[in-house]
């Protein structure tokens, strides 16, 4: 089963489930329904795993050209494309059914929207235009919305605030990855911004802009009375910490500093979520 598990990108799934759980907590009114949370997390994990599998099925030829992905199950021959497609379909259908029956139809439709936009808009656009990153940030920011919809049965401004934080966070995170692996992306004709504009100026500016934008966006949960002052102060400190990494990569566009932005982003999000939980109103 290991190649099939690898197709689901489990290291990414935990981040998706963390974001889904945050959405669920803020959508909960009164006591937590642990069975509903379990159904939500299981359904989200299944549909996210199916999406990741379909993505690798679609991109297996490009993956074979890149050093960082040529060892994935399909390019390495451990799983055939037909087997991967069947596995992705099974996971996706099971995830949709789990969300529909275990949570509610709105949650299932939010999960389906995530899958469809990721596979039919973001994935094919990666070889057409660097704005694919912008399109991909939409399904990438849906997990907290899925969790919120499962707990409350609605999608409102609170869900939108959680969506916005994750949406903006993705840009410096993924632009840093794109800079680190720009040569690989060029081999596969994937139009990431550092491939289209190799000097790195525009990529660095994007990282800086979205790192700066993340600070006021991260304040929105407090403005909506979802969190208190402790979260607000913590979000400001984290935002400055993130911005510092972005400024460094603008001044000196090197792979180690881009990796620094990536590592900072990986630290930032769970700590921010922790502050949300600690200071939830």
pLDDT digits over 191-200, tens only? 888 888 888 8
Question: Any residues with CB less than 8 A from the CB of 119 and at least 6 apart, and which?
Answer: 51, 54, 55, 58
Per-residue model confidence (pLDDT) at position 145: 98
User: Token match 């469809």: residue?
Assistant: 116
Per-residue model confidence (pLDDT) at position 128: 86
CATH topology of domain 1-155: Tetracycline Repressor; domain 2 (1.10.357)
Per-residue model confidence (pLDDT) at position 246: 95
Per-residue model confidence (pLDDT) at position 206: 94
Cα(59)–Cα(101) distance, integer angstroms: 31
Cα(47)–Cα(32) distance, integer angstroms: 23
Q: Give tens-digit pLDDT for 94-153.
A: 999 999 999 999 999 999 999 999 999 999 998 888 888 999 999 999 999 999 999 999
Beta-bridge mates of residue 227: 280
Q: What is the pTM of this model?
A: 0.94
Cα(155)–Cα(147) distance, integer angstroms: 10
Q: Give tens-digit pLDDT for 162-201.
A: 999 999 999 999 999 999 998 888 888 888 888 888 888 8
Per-residue model confidence (pLDDT) at position 187: 86
Q: How high is the mean pLDDT of the chain?
A: 94
Per-residue model confidence (pLDDT) at position 68: 85
Residue 247 pLDDT > 80: yes
Average the pLDDT over 13-30 and give the result. Answer: 93
Cα(43)–Cα(159) distance, integer angstroms: 19
Per-residue model confidence (pLDDT) at position 190: 86
- List alpha helices for the chain, DSSP H: 2-7, 10-27, 34-58, 60-63, 81-102, 105-117, 123-125, 132-140, 143-152, 157-180, 182-187, 193-196, 201-223, 229-251, 255-278
Q: Give tens-digit pLDDT for 215-243.
A: 999 999 999 999 999 999 999 999 999 99
**Structural tokens at position 128:** 């057409």
Cβ burial 165-184 (10 Å sphere, 16+ → b, else e)? bbbbbbbbbbbbbbbbbbeb
């Amino acid at each position: 089963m290991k190649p099939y598990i690898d197709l689901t990108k489990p290291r990414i799934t935990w981040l998706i489930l963390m974001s889904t759980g945050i959405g669920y907590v803020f959508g909960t009114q009164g006591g937590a329904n642990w069975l509903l949370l379990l159904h939500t997390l299981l359904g989200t994990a299944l549909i996210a795993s199916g999406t990741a599998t379909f993505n690798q099925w679609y991109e297996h030829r490009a993956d074979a050209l890149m050093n960082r992905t040529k060892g994935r199950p399909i390019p390495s021959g451990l799983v055939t494309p037909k087997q991967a497609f069947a596995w992705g379909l099974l996971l996706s259908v099971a995830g949709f059914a789990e969300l529909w029956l275990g949570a509610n139809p709105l949650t299932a439709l939010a999960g389906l929207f995530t899958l469809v936009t990721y596979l039919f808009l973001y994935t094919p656009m990666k070889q057409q235009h660097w704005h694919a990153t912008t399109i991909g940030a939409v399904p990438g920011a849906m997990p907290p919305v899925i969790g919120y919809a499962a707990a409350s049965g609605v999608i409102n401004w609170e869900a939108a605030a959680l969506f916005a934080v994750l949406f903006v966070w993705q840009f410096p995170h993924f632009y840093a990855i794109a800079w680190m692996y720009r040569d690989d992306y060029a081999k596969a004709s994937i139009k990431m911004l550092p491939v289209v504009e190799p000097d790195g100026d525009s990529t660095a500016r994007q990282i800086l802009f979205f790192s700066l934008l993340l600070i006021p966006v991260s304040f929105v949960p407090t403005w909506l009375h979802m969190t208190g002052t402790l979260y607000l102060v913590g979000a400001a400190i984290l935002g400055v910490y993130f911005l510092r990494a972005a400024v460094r990569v603008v001044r000196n566009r090197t792979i180690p500093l881009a990796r620094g932005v990536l590592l900072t982003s990986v630290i930032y999000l769970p700590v921010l979520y922790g502050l949300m939980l600690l200071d939830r109103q």
